Chains A and B, each alone.
Chain A
Amino acid sequence: MNRKLMLPVLFVIAATVAVSAGDLGGKVSGVSGKSVVYVDAISGKPFPPADKHPVMDQKSLQFQPHILVVQQGTTVDFLNSDNVQHNVFWPSIGGDKKAGHNLGTWPKGEKKSFKFDHPGVAPLLCNVHPEMAGYIVVSPTPYFAETDESGNYTIKDVPDGQYTVTAWHEGAKPKSQPVKVAAASKSDFTLSK
């Protein structure tokens, strides 16, 4: 078979074999600034974690980025780019105190890695600089997105089906609601503090 022809053919086959999918979008209102929206665990459907290690940096006494969303099972690299010592710990993940962990201290330029197997939000703290705050949102599925500043989000290629979708915003009560995805779908949230 002509190799040039093979790829498009495979694509066509894949598209017809795979479940049809669409973008899930909407708006998170009631809060200002960025929020995170993710599709909750789908029973009986595990997802292989991403190979890439996203980086959570500590620079000029701040966690950067302030919010990092990763898929469950992803390893995050924690960096210290400051000339002062920092510490990283999170008291819980998704409210589960057993998932709390202290990574310790390390000098500038070095990194420490941690694999996030527990879904939920890990509030990052530094026990030297109590004003430092960061968040790692561990999504149980690869279907997640950060909103823009005005609250709009789009989760790409969500397979058709019935899901629970959760919206999270720093300092607000997270909200979960059922969503039926069939091709392009819409789900809006209104959060409150």
Chain B
Amino acid sequence: MIRLPKLSQLLPFAGAVLAIALPLTMPTRSHSIPAFSRMYNTSCSTCHLDFPKLNDFGKAFKDAGFKFPTDDESMIKNPPVMLGAPAQKELWPHSIWPGKIPGMPPIGLRMNNFFQVTGEHRNEFQFVPAGTTTPSVPTFVPRTNFETGLFSIFTAGNFGSDIAFWVDDDISVTGENGNGGLGDGYLRFVNLGRLLHLPKDSLSLRAGQFEIDLPFSPARSWNLSPWDIFGQTNVGVTGVHNVSNGFTLDTPGQGVEFSGGHHYGGYWYSVAFINQNTTGVTDPGAFVPTVTGNPFQSDSSFKDIYGHFEYRFNLERDKDSRRAIQAAGKMGPRDHTYISVGVFDFYGRSVNRILGATSTGAPTLLTAREPFYRVGGDFSFNYRTFNLFGVWMHGHDHNLIPIDATGAIFPATPVSFIAGAPSTFSGGFLQADYRALPWIMLIMRYDGVNSPEDRINGLAGSTDTPFFAPVMATRNRYTPGVQFLIHANIKASFEYQVRPRQQIAPTAGLLNPVTLNPVFTKPFRVNTAVAGLEFVY
């Protein structure tokens, strides 16, 4: 039997849903590397179209481990410091293998500010829970906000022996003296395959904390608002699902990743094994180990697995040009005309813990290790200054439901779990970028997330900014935008998020005690305008 959820049961989920909502109001992390500009004495646009969006050369530079793919040393204007003469290699193992560090600290800084205008229709959403007279959603005061985004420090480079490094840390985020955190911090051993006599660039290893290798990087996104699907959690309906999986694809993982190939043509693959950091809603009892102060967040030896495979076809007619990193045009080098297609799959376990009992009736902590997967496909088509790309994805959580000894589901004192109906969602995005001029990029984007569970959870969570929360089964928006490079390192961005208006269904006989208006259970989604100004140096 399916029970309808009561508000008191939903409240614990409010936190989880707000966690979904918050990233939407926060700026996406994105980076270009002024340190490389300084080291090579070259402009941002050598590697970036509209920072941090990479051009073909930037992709090759990154693939090669933050180096020019060939003749790197002749390009460096600030020579590196040798940590051992190259001839020390001959003495090895009786010497330390010689490496090098960049000649100057490769530090880049980034700062951004935002201005946001939110539509007024928010007040037409007055959710009054059954059996109460008070709206659970307070009246919204229409407002506009200036918002500081983040101040971030980042560094990247190469230590010689094809060992690349990257660290970015947000020193402050959103507001006065707010603390940020470590974004990515990893070492990448490029072209490790040469030790195994594998073809060039067919095997590299990355270790540390990193964003998983998604087809389009949310951390390095050039959009003001994130791609919704990559931030989608899976929180099932209480009483139907026992799924409370806060995992999103855009959170950094800790672990190792094997990869190979090139992003500027041909194949690319990556396989990562990362900590299971998907702990859902835990029982607040003493059984649950605290994560605070504990450097190891994984609560089992199981490692989540992520794989991504992509193939890019360069479509230049001229054979030499087709194989080159950048296509050669009459007017100069440019990005290839290409089409790339890819697939990705994430397989993990989400942990749910609840208080239950042993067969003898003694209280115990029951742990459900919920298998889940996210599977999707992506494509990207580029013609000169026009780029059309998209992702479609499906999410699936197994749903282990607590039962008692008689087999009744969701009992007061569960003893074990059985598999219930899976909790799923799907969605994706389609985006078109057109660089009208080298410093103007027009963006049109569609985001859609279809999660049957979102609506229920959204209502419970809508105590603050429900227009950001996933309040309907289908959450979608059109986001036209435009970005201007004031200089190569200063960008003004604007986007308008249009959320199509949904049908409004007044609940029969229920009036808002304050406004005496009928209470709507199918709320509006309001439009939002966001402007951003950011600079890196």
- When each residue 305-329 of chain B gets 1 if its CB lies under 8 Å from chain A and 0 otherwise, what string results? 0000000000000001000111011
Given contacts A105-B333, A129-B46, contact A60 B488 (CB under 8 A): no
Residue A77, interface by CB 8 Å: no
- Interface bracket on A: 20 to 34
Given contacts A60-B74, A61-B75, contact A85 B324 (CB under 8 A): yes
Cα-based distance from A177 to B324 in the complex (angstroms):
51
- Interface bracket on B: 20 to 34
Contacting residues, chain B, for A86 (C-beta < 8 A): 332-333
Residue A82, interface by CB 8 Å: yes
Cα-based distance from A70 to B42 in the complex (angstroms):
28
Contacting residues, chain A, for B46 (C-beta < 8 A): 61, 128-129
Contacting residues, chain A, for B69 (C-beta < 8 A): 83
Q: Which residue of A lies closest to B73 (CB)?
A: A60
**Cβ contact within 8 Å between A60 and B75:** yes
Contacting residues, chain A, for B9 (C-beta < 8 A): none
Contacting residues, chain A, for B45 (C-beta < 8 A): 128-130
Q: A105-B329, A107-B320, A131-B42 are in contact. List 16 more A-B contacts (CB 8 A).
A: A60-B75, A61-B40, A61-B41, A61-B75, A82-B74, A84-B71, A85-B328, A86-B332, A86-B333, A89-B331, A102-B330, A102-B331, A104-B330, A105-B330, A128-B45, A130-B45
Contacting residues, chain A, for B114 (C-beta < 8 A): none
**Cβ contact within 8 Å between B331 and A127:** yes
Residue A187, interface by CB 8 Å: no
- When each residue 96-112 of chain A gets 1 if its CB lies under 8 Å from chain B and 0 otherwise, what string results? 00000010111100000
Q: Which B residues are within 8 Å of any A CB, using their own CB?
A: 40-43, 45-46, 57, 68-71, 74-75, 77, 320, 324-326, 328-333, 488
Closest CB pairs A-B (n = 10):
A87-B332, A85-B333, A105-B328, A83-B70, A83-B71, A127-B332, A131-B43, A130-B43, A128-B333, A60-B74
B43: which of A82, A89, A129 is its contact (CB, 8 Å)?
A129
Interchain Cβ contacts under 8 Å between A and B, 9 examples:
A84-B75, A85-B325, A85-B328, A87-B332, A102-B331, A104-B330, A126-B332, A129-B42, A131-B41
Closest chain A CB from B472 CB (angstroms): 46
Contacting residues, chain A, for B330 (C-beta < 8 A): 102, 104-105
Question: Which secondary structure characterizes the binding site on chain B?
Answer: loop
Closest chain A CB from B178 CB (angstroms): 35
A87: which of B42, B333, B488 is its contact (CB, 8 Å)?
B333
Cα-based distance from A111 to B40 in the complex (angstroms):
24
Contacting residues, chain A, for B488 (C-beta < 8 A): 130
Would you list which residues of chain A between 100 and 153 have a CB under 8 Å from chain B?
102, 104-107, 126-131
Most buried by A among B46, B68, B329: B46
B332: which of A82, A102, A107 is its contact (CB, 8 Å)?
A102
Cα-based distance from A123 to B311 in the complex (angstroms):
41
Contacting residues, chain B, for A130 (C-beta < 8 A): 43, 45, 488
Cα-based distance from A107 to B327 in the complex (angstroms):
11
Cα-based distance from A165 to B333 in the complex (angstroms):
39
Contacting residues, chain A, for B43 (C-beta < 8 A): 129-131
Q: Which residue of A lies closest to B72 (CB)?
A: A83
Contacting residues, chain A, for B70 (C-beta < 8 A): 83
B326: which of A82, A85, A102, A106 is its contact (CB, 8 Å)?
A85
Q: Which residue of B lies closest to A102 (CB)?
A: B331
Cα-based distance from A83 to B60 in the complex (angstroms):
13
